[in-house]
Amino acid sequence: VMNAKYRFAETRLAASYVNFYIANGGVIAPSFGDEKRDREAYNVLCSAFPDHE
C-alpha cells in the first residue's frame, strides 16, 4: 500500500469483524489470528447468512 503508515509491533491494532463483504452465495470476512474470537465471529456470520458459504 502506497504511503502506508508503519505500525510498531507493540502497537495495538483496532481489529473489527464489521468489515465483511456479502457476495453471491458467500461472505468474505477478516480473521485476526485469535482462534476463539475468529470462530465466534464466523459462527455469528454463519447464523446471519445461512444460505451463504
Q: Is the pTM of this model over 0.75?
A: no
25 inside domain:
yes
2 inside domain:
no
Range of the domain at 30: 20-52
Which value, to the nearest 10 degrees, does the dihedral of the CA atoms of residues 18, 35, 50, 23 take?
50
43 inside domain:
yes
Instruction: Specify the length of the chain in residues.
Output: 53
- 30 contacts 17 by C-beta, under 8 angstroms: yes
12 inside domain:
no
3 inside domain:
no
45 inside domain:
yes
Burial (0-12, 13-18, 19+ Cβ within 10 Å), 38: middle
11 inside domain:
no
Taking only the tens place, the pLDDT of each residue in 1-53 is: 567 666 677 777 778 999 999 999 999 999 988 899 999 999 999 999 999 99
Q: Structurally, how many domains does the chain consist of?
A: 1
